[in-house]
A = this chain, B = another copy of it.
Amino acid sequence: MHFMTKSNPIGVFDSGIGGLTVVKQIKNLLPNENIVYFGDTARVPYGSKSNATVIEYALQDAQFLLKKNVKLIVVACNTVSSVALQVLRDKINLPIIGMISPGAKMALKETANKKIGVIGTYATVNNKAYSKEIMKFDKKSKVFEKACPLFVPFAEEGWLNTEATKFVAKEYLKELKEKEIESLILGCTHYPLLHEVIQEAIGDKVKLIDSGIAVSYEVREYLQARNLLNDSAAKGEDLYFVSDLPEKFRTVAELFLGNKIKHLQKIDLEEEIK
């Protein structure tokens, strides 16, 4: 591991733009931290790809961040976290924080009756990543998972609260609604954008768990314990790198980040990690 100082940036990567909702939460909690983000927009989405492919891509993404001297890596993608976290930890010589464990722990804290719902991509749900993690902490929990693949394109299209979005949410969540869950994990980084529609469809009494918020607390805890929190008085600097730069990228990215993006650069991933 490189020698780390407080001013080294936090590295965050995702298959595309979803991870920006996690960056939003990290910036919110830790505004003085520098951040380097990589979105693999040339190969997005990972959620419909095989596990072997996702692992290969994730290792490349992490290598890029390693070269940027980040002090830790946040895997801001539930699919990658559910498929590749162990391989990343084995092969990348840096602390790595994924989405699943922080989200699972937060849900357990918020759920008295131990019934927890999880929504995510096919990959995340088929891997039962959240169920396994929750069971590690509390074997008496009951976890109900449901893939909601159409939520991603709705979020990216900016159709956050249309009639169609509401219908899709109602359709996807009708099974979960009968399970008496007390909390629902938003197990995909796109889903916080559809917060309102999801809350309406699942009902007021169910607490929505944004894994991005859970991750931001975990990042703070990790850095605090190692005296690596950036104590600069200045606001942190964010650098955003992508492997492809489609026309609409900036608009959609800023919707996800909830902020303007200053430094945005397209890179050739293979060249960068040579």
A interface residues (Cβ-Cβ under 8 A, vs B): 41-44, 48-50, 53, 122, 126, 149-150, 152-154, 157, 159, 162-164, 167-168, 171, 244-248
Query: What separation, in Å, do the CA atoms of A153 and B42 have in the docked complex?
Result: 18
At the interface, is chain A mostly helix, strand, loop or mixed? loop
Closest to A48 in B: B246
Query: What separation, in Å, do the CA atoms of A126 and B162 have in the docked complex?
Result: 24
Closest chain-B Cβ to A197's Cβ sits at a distance in Å of 12
Contact A53 B150 (CB under 8 A): no
Contact A50 B244 (CB under 8 A): yes
Residues of B within 8 A of A48 (CB): 41, 44, 246, 248
Contact B164 A50 (CB under 8 A): no
A-B contact pairs, 5 of them (CB 8 A): A48-B246, A48-B248, A50-B246, A150-B164, A164-B171
Residues of B within 8 A of A153 (CB): 149-150, 152-153
Query: What separation, in Å, do the CA atoms of A13 and B195 have in the docked complex?
Result: 38
Residues of B within 8 A of A164 (CB): 150, 164, 167-168, 171
Residues of B within 8 A of A122 (CB): 247-248
Given A41-B49, A50-B246, A164-B164, list of 19 further CB < 8 A pairs?
A: A41-B48, A42-B43, A42-B49, A42-B53, A43-B43, A48-B246, A49-B244, A49-B246, A50-B245, A53-B244, A122-B247, A122-B248, A149-B157, A150-B150, A150-B154, A150-B157, A153-B153, A164-B171, A167-B167
Closest to A151 in B: B153
Residues of B within 8 A of A53 (CB): 42, 244
Query: What separation, in Å, do the CA atoms of A237 and B15 have in the docked complex?
Result: 37
Closest to A149 in B: B157
Closest to A47 in B: B246
Residues of B within 8 A of A247 (CB): 50, 122, 126
